[in-house]
Homo-oligomer: A and B are copies of this chain.
Amino acid sequence: MNDHEVNVGILGLGTVGTGVAKILLTQSGLLKTRSDLNFKLKAIAEINWNVKRDLNLDGIQCLTDAKQLIADPEIDIVVETIGGYEPAFSFISEALCNRKHVVTANKALIATRGRELFKIAKENGVGLLFEASVGGGIPIIKGLREGLVANKIESIYGILNGTSNYILTRMHQDGLEFEEALKEAQVKGFAEADPTLDVGGGDAAHKLTILGSLATSSTLDFDSLYVEGITPITKLDINFAKSFGFTIKLLAIFRALENGLDLRVHPTLIPNTHLLAAVNNELNAIFVKGDFVGNTMFYGPGAGERPTGSAIVSDIVDLSKGLLLKEGEPSSYLSIDPERRMELAPINAIKNRFYLRFFTYDKPGVLSKISGILGERGISISSMVQLETHEKDNYVPIVLLTHKASEEAMEEALREIDQFDFVKDKGLRLRLF
C-alpha cells in the first residue's frame, strides 16, 4: 500500500460487480474525503466480456482468469460477486490464503459454508466481510455487529426477501392471486425465472442464518432451520387476514429463548399497527430488539446493482482500515467465531398463535368436530369466520385464529382434522406475529 492507496479487484462483472465498479470509478473523491484513502479499481476478472456495460474501464486490467487476479500481489481486497457455491468458494478461500481481504455478497455461501471460510480468514489474519449478503443496501450487518455491539440480541424479525414481499404486496393492495403477482414480478425483474429460492423461503433462510450467527457470534446450521414459503397463500387468505386487521409477510424470525435459539422463516400475519406491516413492494426491513437499546428497525432496498454496490463498498472501506493495523494485533473482523456453535431450540416446543383455513363440506357438525379436535389438544380459538358458498361443489372456507399453542399440538391436531372426509385437500396453517 503506497501512500494509502488501496487496490481492489472484482471477481465477476454481473449486476452487483458492475455496481461496485461504478462506485469505485465515480465516487473516489468522496471516498477519499471520508476515509483519507485512495481506492483504486485495479482489475476485474470476468468470463464474458461480450456484454455491453455502461462502464469506462480504461486503465483497469480486464482479465478472464480469476486466479490471475487472486494471485496479484498488489491487490489488497478481492470482491467476489460471482454468486453460487463453486467456483466462488474456491476463489474466496484462495484469496484469503493469499492474505487478501475479501468482500462478498454471497448469502448462500456464507450461510452454508461460512464456518470454513471464517476459519481460513482467521488463520490468515485477514477479513471476510459480507454486508451486502443481507438486506442489500441496508447497513444491517454493521448495525448488528458494531452499532448494537453492547446488546444481547433478544429477537430479530426480518422481511428479507424482496421478491416475496413484492408478490404479497400486490396480492394485498391489488387483489392479485399468487401466480399473477409472481408473473408480474418476473416481468419487472424482481423474480428469477426459477423463483423457488425466493418464494420457497430459502433465500430468506440464508439471510436469517447470517443474522442469527452475528447475533450470537457463532455459526449456525442452516439445514436445521424451519422454513415455509408463500406459495400456498391465496387471495382468500389475504382477505381474511385483512378483515382481522393483519398483513401477511414472509418473516424471518430469530429469538434467543432460554432453551436455545428459535430460527424460522414462514408467512406471518403481522398486525397492521406494526411498522413491519407497512414495509411494501420489493423493500426489506429488519426489526431488532436488543436488551439495552430496545426496539430498532432498519429499512431499505434489499437488492439491486446500486444498493448492493453501496454495501460492498462500505465493507471495502472498513477492511482498508485494517490495512493500517499494527502487525500482530487482533483483526477484530471476526464477530462470527467459527469455533463457536449454537444449537436451535426444538421447534415442537415453540408456541405460536395460528391462522387456520380449511375448505369444508357445508353440513351440520363440521365446526364442532374441528373445534373439538383443537380443544382436545388444549388449543383455544380466539376468532372464527365461516363464509357462505355459492359454488356448485358446496365447499366453504372456514378460518380460525387461535390463542397460543405449541407447534407439536397444532401439528397433531391438523393431522387429525385433515383426515375428516368433509375437509377438502389440506388445511392451511399460518402463524401470527
Partner of A299 from B152, B296, B301 at Cβ < 8 Å: B296
Which A residues between 310 and 342 are near B, CB-CB below 8 angstroms? Answer: 310-311, 313-314, 317-318, 321, 324-326, 329-330, 332, 335, 337
The answer for the CA separation of A290 and B329 in the assembled complex, in Å, is 34
- A112 interface contact, C-beta 8 A: no
Which stretch (A139-147, A179-187, A230-238) binds chain B?
Answer: A139-147
- A295 interface contact, C-beta 8 A: yes
- A345 interface contact, C-beta 8 A: no
- A30 interface contact, C-beta 8 A: yes
Q: Which residue of B lies closest to A300 (CB)?
A: B296
The answer for the CA separation of A329 and B37 in the assembled complex, in Å, is 11
A150 contacts B330, CB within 8 Å? no
- A306 interface contact, C-beta 8 A: yes
B-chain residues with CB within 8 Å of residue A27 when the two chains form the complex: 150-152, 292
B-chain residues with CB within 8 Å of residue A304 when the two chains form the complex: 294
The answer for the CA separation of A415 and B421 in the assembled complex, in Å, is 78
B-chain residues with CB within 8 Å of residue A49 when the two chains form the complex: none
A294 contacts B325, CB within 8 Å? no
- A414 interface contact, C-beta 8 A: no
A300 contacts B292, CB within 8 Å? no
Q: Which residue of B lies closest to A334 (CB)?
A: B36
Known: A294-B306, A299-B275, A299-B297. A139 touches B147 (CB 8 A): yes
Partner of A296 from B33, B138, B296, B318 at Cβ < 8 Å: B138
Partner of A278 from B148, B275, B292, B296 at Cβ < 8 Å: B275
A292 contacts B19, CB within 8 Å? yes
Per-residue CB contact flags for chain A residues 220-254 toward chain B (1 = under 8 Å, else 0) read 00000000000000000000000000000000000
- A137 interface contact, C-beta 8 A: yes
Per-residue CB contact flags for chain A residues 118-145 toward chain B (1 = under 8 Å, else 0) read 0000000000000100000111001101
Q: Within the complex, what minimum Cβ distance (angstroms) separates A239 from chain B?
A: 21
The answer for the CA separation of A27 and B291 in the assembled complex, in Å, is 10
B-chain residues with CB within 8 Å of residue A290 when the two chains form the complex: 137, 310
B-chain residues with CB within 8 Å of residue A138 when the two chains form the complex: 296
Which A residues between 1 and 34 are near B, CB-CB below 8 angstroms? Answer: 4, 19, 22-23, 27, 30-31, 33-34
Which A residues between 44 and 80 are near B, CB-CB below 8 angstroms? Answer: none
A150 contacts B310, CB within 8 Å? yes
- A293 interface contact, C-beta 8 A: yes
Q: Which residue of B lies closest to A150 (CB)?
A: B313
The answer for the CA separation of A304 and B294 in the assembled complex, in Å, is 10
Known: A293-B307, A307-B294. A314 touches B23 (CB 8 A): no
- A298 interface contact, C-beta 8 A: yes
The answer for the CA separation of A144 and B317 in the assembled complex, in Å, is 13
Partner of A275 from B275, B293, B317 at Cβ < 8 Å: B275
Q: Within the complex, what minimum Cβ distance (angstroms) separates A64 from chain B?
A: 27
B275 contacts A292, CB within 8 Å? no
B-chain residues with CB within 8 Å of residue A143 when the two chains form the complex: 139, 142-143, 147
Which A residues between 143 and 161 are near B, CB-CB below 8 angstroms? Answer: 143, 145-152
The answer for the CA separation of A206 and B329 in the assembled complex, in Å, is 38
- A98 interface contact, C-beta 8 A: no
Most chain B CB neighbours (cut-off 10 Å) among A152, A296, A317, A326? A296
- A309 interface contact, C-beta 8 A: yes
Known: A142-B143, A337-B33. A293 touches B149 (CB 8 A): no
Q: Within the complex, what minimum Cβ distance (angstroms) separates A421 from chain B?
A: 46
Known: A31-B150, A297-B300. A324 touches B329 (CB 8 A): yes
Can you list the 7 inter-chain pairs with the closest CB atoms, starting with the nearest?
A139-B147, A296-B300, A150-B313, A137-B293, A297-B299, A324-B329, A293-B310
Cross-chain pairs A/B with CB under 8 angstroms, 22 sampled = A27-B152, A31-B149, A31-B150, A33-B337, A36-B332, A137-B294, A139-B148, A149-B314, A150-B317, A275-B275, A292-B310, A293-B311, A294-B300, A295-B300, A296-B298, A296-B299, A297-B300, A298-B299, A324-B325, A324-B326, A324-B332, A325-B326
